[in-house]
């Protein structure tokens, strides 16, 4: 599909500057919130208006847009939801009267890609995919199609979401998050429904050139279903189609500590990871719709450094040499993705 040449990530862990994946920062109130950098590249007059989603999106994109990509392709389920709700509340509080525009400007989902484009004076392709928990996967698919049509181009590809009070409360009431307070270190040992909330922004500079690439996105598949047999069948087809050039040597699992979803991950593990290593990442990122972008970033780091942080290891397989990583992610048991990343 395409190659990844540069990566950045703002997350609840030390992933942006002074990267150290062996340290696992703890959760507060079942929310893993991002460590925000100082955003030195964003003028204060622009920064003061940005909501968190826009800040982390632009902040993580800035180091990559120096390469002057031909377009910007972003996936986000909710964009700047916090600002959106502030704006909607204003409408009620002030009886549809005079409304401050700041929140509205930042509240649309495409504000991130737009702001990156404005700041870098990039007038190329600029699009935002908002397919809930498959938003990043659809952004990847778009990048693959754009690169198919324009093989000499470079694109900035990213996935991001923030924890907003509104979404957290709705998801909490629906049972998406654990009722009891837990540490992310215990995410996979506590047998209860729900996960912990997370947020983050991962950005990638992608093109069709294999030389000096960090990784290749070999294949991608998404599906909407809550039927575990459909997931298994689709997985078998995916394996048959993509295993010709070798089997994966690591399963990067989107397991999130929600015991209602364990069966999906167990089935996938049984299918693809009988003798290979298994690692997990949501103790680092928390659960959020575009967490698969974090998974792709982590896969790139593992391929680059040949090291899996100890807290992420679920099982060590026959080989510790990682050249092909299979990512399986699942959001609320209905949106699934398979991503194959190789060196």
Partner 1 sequence: MEKEALKLQLKKQIVEFLNLMAVKPEDIKDDEPLFGEGLGLDSIDSIELIVLLNREYGIDIKDPKEGRKVLVDVNTMVDYIEKHRTK
* Binding positions for partner 1, 95-124, rule CB under 8 A: 97-102, 105
Of 97 and 189, the one with the shorter C-beta distance to partner 1 is 97
Q: Which is nearer to partner 1, 102 or 124 (CB)?
A: 102
Q: What is the SS3 string spanning the chain?
A: CEEEEEEEEECCCCCCCCCCCCCCCCCECCEECCCCCCCCCCCHHHHCCCCHHHHHHHHHHHHHHCCCCCEEEEECCCCCHHHHHHHHHHHHHCCCCCCCCHHHHHHCCCHHHHHHHHHCCCCCEEEEECCHHHHHHHHHHHHHHHHHHCCCCCEEEEEEECCCHHHHHHHHHCCCECCCCCCHHHCCCCCECCECEECEEEEEEEECCCCCCCEEEEEEEEEECCCHHHHHHHHHHHHHHHHHHCCCCEEEECCCCECCCHHHHHHHHHHHCCCCEEEECHHHHCECCCHHHHHHHHHHHHHHHCCCCHHHEEECCCCCCCCEEEEEEEECCCEEEEEEEEC
Q: Which is nearer to partner 1, 41 or 333 (CB)?
A: 41
Smallest distance, partner 1 to C-beta of residue 52, A: 13
Rounded CA-CA distance 200/176 in Å is 18
Considering the complex, state which of residue 43 and residue 191 has its C-beta at the smaller distance from partner 1: 43
Return the number of the residue (98 or 244) whose C-beta is nearest partner 1. Answer: 98
Nearest to 286 by CA among 113, 74, 31: 31
Binding-residue pattern over the window 5 to 44 for partner 1, x denoting contact by CB under 8 A: ---------------------------------------x
Q: Are 216 and 342 in contact (CB under 8 A)?
A: yes
Indicate the residue among 29 and 93 with the shorter CB distance to partner 1: 93
- Residues 61 to 100 in contact with partner 1, rule: CB under 8 A: 94, 97-100
Q: 47, 114, 119, 219: which one contacts partner 1 (CB under 8 A)?
A: 47
Closer residue to partner 1, CB minimum distance, 58 or 203: 58
Nearest distance from C-beta of residue 114 to partner 1, angstroms: 15
How near is the Cβ of 237 to partner 1 at its closest, in Å?
51
| Smallest distance, partner 1 to C-beta of residue 101, A | 5
**Smallest gap, in angstroms, from Cβ of residue 65 to partner 1?**
23
- Minimum distance from CB of 110 to partner 1 (Å)? 18
Minimal distance in Å, beta carbon 74 to partner 1? 23
Q: Which of 49, 232, 311, 343 binds partner 1 (CB under 8 A)?
A: 49
Number of amino acids touching partner 1 (CB under 8 A): 13
Interface characters, 131-160, with partner 1 (x: CB under 8 A): ------------------------------
Nearer to partner 1, 95 or 245 (CB): 95
Are the C-beta atoms of residues 288 and 15 closer than 8 Å to each other? no
Q: Contact positions toward partner 1, by CB under 8 A?
A: 44-45, 47-49, 94, 97-102, 105
């Amino acid at each position: 599909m395409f190659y990844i040449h540069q990566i950045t990530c703002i997350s609840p862990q030390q992933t942006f500057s002074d990267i150290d994946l062996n340290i696992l920062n703890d959760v507060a109130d079942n929310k893993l919130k991002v460590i925000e950098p100082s955003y030195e590249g964003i003028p204060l007059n622009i920064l003061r208006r940005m909501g968190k989603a826009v800040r982390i999106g632009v902040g993580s994109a800035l180091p990559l847009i120096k390469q002057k990509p031909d377009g910007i392709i972003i996936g986000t389920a909710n964009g700047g939801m916090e600002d959106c709700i502030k704006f909607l509340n204003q409408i009620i509080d002030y009886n549809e009267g005079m409304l401050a525009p700041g929140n509205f400007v930042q509240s649309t989902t495409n504000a991130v890609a737009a702001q990156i484009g404005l700041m870098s004076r990039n007038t190329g392709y600029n699009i935002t995919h908002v397919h809930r928990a498959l938003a990043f996967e659809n952004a990847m698919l778009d990048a693959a199609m754009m690169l198919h049509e324009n093989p000499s181009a470079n694109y900035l590809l990213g996935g991001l979401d923030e924890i907003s009070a509104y979404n957290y409360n709705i998801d909490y009431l629906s049972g998406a998050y654990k009722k009891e307070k837990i540490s992310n270190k215990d995410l996979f040992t506590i047998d209860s429904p729900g996960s912990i909330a997370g947020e983050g922004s991962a950005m990638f500079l992608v093109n069709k050139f294999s030389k000096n690439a960090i990784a290749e996105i070999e294949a991608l598949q998404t599906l909407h279903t809550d039927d575990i047999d459909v997931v298994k069948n689709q997985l078998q087809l995916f394996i048959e189609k993509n295993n010709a050039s070798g089997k994966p040597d690591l399963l990067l699992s989107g397991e999130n500590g929600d015991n209602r979803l364990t069966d999906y991950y167990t089935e996938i593990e049984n299918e693809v990871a009988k003798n290979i290593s298994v690692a997990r990442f949501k103790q680092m990122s928390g659960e959020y719709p575009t967490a698969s972008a974090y998974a792709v970033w982590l896969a790139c780091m593992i391929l680059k450094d040949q090291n899996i942080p100890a807290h992420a290891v679920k099982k060590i397989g026959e080989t510790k040499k990682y050249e092909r990583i299979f990512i399986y992610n699942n959001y609320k048991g209905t949106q699934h993705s398979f991503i194959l990343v190789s060196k």
